[in-house]
Each structure stands twice: as C-alpha cells, then as structure tokens.
C-alpha cells in the first residue's frame, strides 16, 4: 500500500481532490487498495475549503508517506513556517513531493525548488520567477518532474499530474484505463503550452476574433496580411495596427502559433509524416515546421513527438520500490 498525505490549509481549492479521485479509480482498476489517502493540516481538525465547507484532517506528525501532495489555492499565498518545515522534511522522507498549480509557491517558500525546474498556473508564472529567482520556472509545461519534486500547471492539470503518477507506479496501460473511467483524454504530454493560442491571443473585438476563427479554419491557405485584412474589412495597415494592439502579436506570429498548435495535435496522433503535417497546417515543408517548433517550444517536432510517445521528458514507466511506511497517525 502507498500512503498519500494530502496537505490542505484554509481556503484550499477543491481541485486537489481530482487527484484523489484518480487514485481511487486506480485502486478499482488494480483490484486492491494500493493508494490510501490521509488528509493533513498544520493543526489537525476541521479545515475550511474555499468552497465553503469543512474537511476533517490529521495534524502533521511522525507518519511516513510515499507521496506528499500539496493542495493549492486560488492565489499564490505564502505558507506558514510549520508548513514549510513539513515540506522540507517530506522531501527527505517521501518518494515524491507533488504540488499542482499555486502549490509550487509553497515548495519555493520552503526552499525545495532552489535550482530545480518547476511550473505553475500560467497566471502566476512570472510572479513565481520574480519572487523566487533560484527556481527554473518553465511556463510552457503541463507538468514538470525534477527528481522527487513534481509540479504542474493550474486547475485541471492536477488530473494530468495524477495520471502521470499512476503511470509511473503501474505503467501506461493502467493510467489509460483510469483515464477512460474518468472520461478524460489520457493525460496530456508534459511538453505542451498551458493555454491554446486562441485563448492566449484573446482579442477584444469581434472583428479580430472573426479573423482568428477564419485563420484557424484555413491554415492551409497563405493567410497573408492582405488576406486577413480583407476578412476584417480594413486596409492592411489599419488591420496590422489593430491586430497587434488587441493581441500583442503581429498577424504573422499569431498565424504561426495557430499552425504550430495544430501541428502538435497531428504529431501526437502519430499517423502522418512531417512533410504531410507541414502541408496540412500551412507551413509548407518540414524545415519551416522545424523552425516554427523551435521558436515556440524550444525543440524540433521530432523531439516533441518523442517526448509525447516515450515520456522521455516525463516520469519513467516502471513501478519503483517504495519504502516501508508507518501507519498515518495524528501528532
């Protein structure tokens, strides 16, 4: 049995429990109670969740856990000295210390992210880097595994993180079965932007939004500034100025983002050759596809495809040997 310590604090976000649900479903798939979850808090007793109801917890004590999972909040709040001390101790005793979303700030506050790679919710990426300069923050990741420390993007990415943990413990077949039972896509690859290009661009006017919808539906076309300006009903100069003002991107850069996003989906499906993918998304040939991927992801498309297929950037697929754990108990 693997003991999981889920650490909560006042006003914590309930998405931490999506990971618990995934572990519960894994138990059913495995036909045994492999994962056992204990709710922990600094003082024990009732803790008020952000949703307005209370959960019962045990106080930090001497119990050992295979995995310590930190809850997150809607804001990047600092942890208490006792919580930071618990996290530091957990790093030396647990096999994994896991912090989805803003939980990365608790890890950083405790000093366990110094010199490590980490990610967090896209809204807080810059703040995490500003407040903790020793952390190697990577905002273009769904989750990051650096040794025993796991972090993820926000909100629903908690489920991706849980499925990755299950995959490390029991292999990809079990994690896929869990995903099917949860009625979700089998976890997204770690190497992936947290938000889609259309959401990131977020135009203010219907006119520019119409242009982006047109571009996404016609990626194989040239999509020159003149073509897009005609869709917007503006002159090329007026259009370029309005587009850049509303999206913070030039039309050419925005179109490339849409094309790379579409190409990544085709790469993950794994059925098409690079030249075919390049033509399908309007990048013409594999060399232009490669350059666009390097600009966007910092890696060529073959590396992105390998990472998605084999998990080379992700947790290894074999059950590790867990330490013998004491029964969880209150302090």
pLDDT tens-digit map of 139-161: 777 889 999 999 998 888 888 88
Res 188: pLDDT? 55
Whether 197-310 and 2-182 are alike in CATH topology: the answer is: no
Q: Which has the closest alpha carbon to 155: 185, 119, 121?
A: 121
Res 75: pLDDT? 84
Q: Which has the closest alpha carbon to 229: 245, 215, 248, 249?
A: 215
Structure tokens at 53: 């109801």
Instruction: Please answer whether residues 72 and 100 qualify as being in contact, where contact means their C-beta atoms are separated by less than 8 angstroms.
Output: yes
Contacts of 126 (CB under 8 A, 6+ apart): 139
* Ranges of the chain with pLDDT below 70: 185-201, 307-331
Q: Which has the closest alpha carbon to 22: 143, 161, 148?
A: 161
Question: What pLDDT, in 10s, does the model give residues 75-107?
Answer: 887 789 999 999 999 999 999 999 999 999 999
Contacts of 165 (CB under 8 A, 6+ apart): 19, 23, 67, 96, 98, 150, 315
Which of helix, strand or coil describes residue 15?
A: coil
| CATH H superfamily, domain 197-310 | Homeodomain-like (1.10.10.60)
Res 331: pLDDT? 30
Rounded to an integer, what is the distance from CA 131 to the centroid of its chain?
20
pTM for this structure? 0.63
- Give the whole-angstrom CA distance, residue 128 versus residue 105: 7
Provide, rounded to the nearest whole percent, the portion of the chain with pLDDT above 70. 86
Beta bridge partner(s), residue 136: 117
The CA distances from residue 70 to 272, 273, 303, in Å, are 40, 41, 31
Domain ranges within the chain, ordered by starting residue: 2-182, 197-310
Domain spanning 2-182 has what CATH number? 3.40.50.880
16-30 and 157-170 are packed helices; what angle lies between their axes, rounded to 10 degrees? Answer: 30
The CA distances from residue 23 to 13, 109, 217, in Å, are 18, 27, 39
Contacts of 45 (CB under 8 A, 6+ apart): 56, 57, 59
Instruction: Please answer whether residues 194 and 139 qualify as being in contact, where contact means their C-beta atoms are separated by less than 8 angstroms.
Output: yes
């Amino acid at each position: 049995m693997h003991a999981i310590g889920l650490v909560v604090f006042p006003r914590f976000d309930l998405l931490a429990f999506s990971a618990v649900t995934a572990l519960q479903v894994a138990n059913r798939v495995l036909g045994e109670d492999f994962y056992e979850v204990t709710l922990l808090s600094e003082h024990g007793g009732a803790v008020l969740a952000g949703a307005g109801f209370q959960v019962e917890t045990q106080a930090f004590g001497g119990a050992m856990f295979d995995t310590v999972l930190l809850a997150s909040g809607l804001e990047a709040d600092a942890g208490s000295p006792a919580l930071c001390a618990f996290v530091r101790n957990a790093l030396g005793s647990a096999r994994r210390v896991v912090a989805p979303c803003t939980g990365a700030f608790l890890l950083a506050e405790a000093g366990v992210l110094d010199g490590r790679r980490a990610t967090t919710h896209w809204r807080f990426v810059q703040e995490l880097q500003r407040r903790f300069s020793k952390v190697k923050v990577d905002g273009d990741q769904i989750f990051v595994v650096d040794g025993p420390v796991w972090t993820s993007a926000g909100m629903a990415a908690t489920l991706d993180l849980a499925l990755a943990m299950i995959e490390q413990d029991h292999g990809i077949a079990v994690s896929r079965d869990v995903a099917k039972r949860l009625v979700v896509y089998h976890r997204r690859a770690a190497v992936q932007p947290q938000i889609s290009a259309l959401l990131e661009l977020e135009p203010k006017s219907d006119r520019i939004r119409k242009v982006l919808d047109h571009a996404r539906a016609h990626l194989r076309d040239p999509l020159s500034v003149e073509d897009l300006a005609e869709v917007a009903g503006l002159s090329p100069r007026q259009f370029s100025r309005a587009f850049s003002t509303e999206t913070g991107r030039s039309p050419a850069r925005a179109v490339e983002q849409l094309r790379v996003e579409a190409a990544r989906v085709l790469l993950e499906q794994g059925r098409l050759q690079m030249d075919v993918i390049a033509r399908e998304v309007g990048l013409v040939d594999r060399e232009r596809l490669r350059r666009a991927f390097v600009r966007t992801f910092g890696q060529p498309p073959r590396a992105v495809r390998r990472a998605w297929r084999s998990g080379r950037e992700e947790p290894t697929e074999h059950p590790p040997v867990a330490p013998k754990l004491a029964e969880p108990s209150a302090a």
